[in-house]
Amino acid sequence: MKEKRKFPRIKIPLCAQYKTADIQPYGIPAVIRDISFEGVRLIVDTPREISLNPKAHLEIIFPQETLNVPMQLVWSKKHSLTQQEAGFSLINPPKKYRDLIYNYIS
């Protein structure tokens, strides 16, 4: 199978908040399982369906700051009634995002 990713995934746990227009302002707590310069894989504890919401975004909580990035669902998989895993492509992530990831894993 041909790899479609441009950047390698880095296994690193980070706290995050998955947010859409209908679950504002708090969002759903999530843990980033792995991350790259253009995407993330999340573990989300919620019975709510993760949908193809075009206005979804992710707050990634780095130790020094929180970054808010728009994203698009690529795939999702339900593990139990309350736990799901999902892959997201980040939409136009700012350069600052790449710098934060690089500095965090270095």
CATH 2.40.10.220 fits 10-101, yes or no: yes
Identify which of 14, 102, 11 has the alpha carbon closest to the alpha carbon of residue 58. 14
Share of the chain above pLDDT 70, in %: 92
Q: Is the pLDDT of residue 1 over 70?
A: no
pLDDT digits (tens, 9 = 90+) for 54-71: 678 889 888 888 888 899
Average pLDDT, the chain: 83
Q: What is the arithmetic mean of pLDDT over 12-36?
A: 85
The whole-model pTM stands at 0.80
On whether the CB atoms of residues 39 and 90 are closer than 8 A, the answer is: yes
Hey, where are the domains in the chain?
10-101
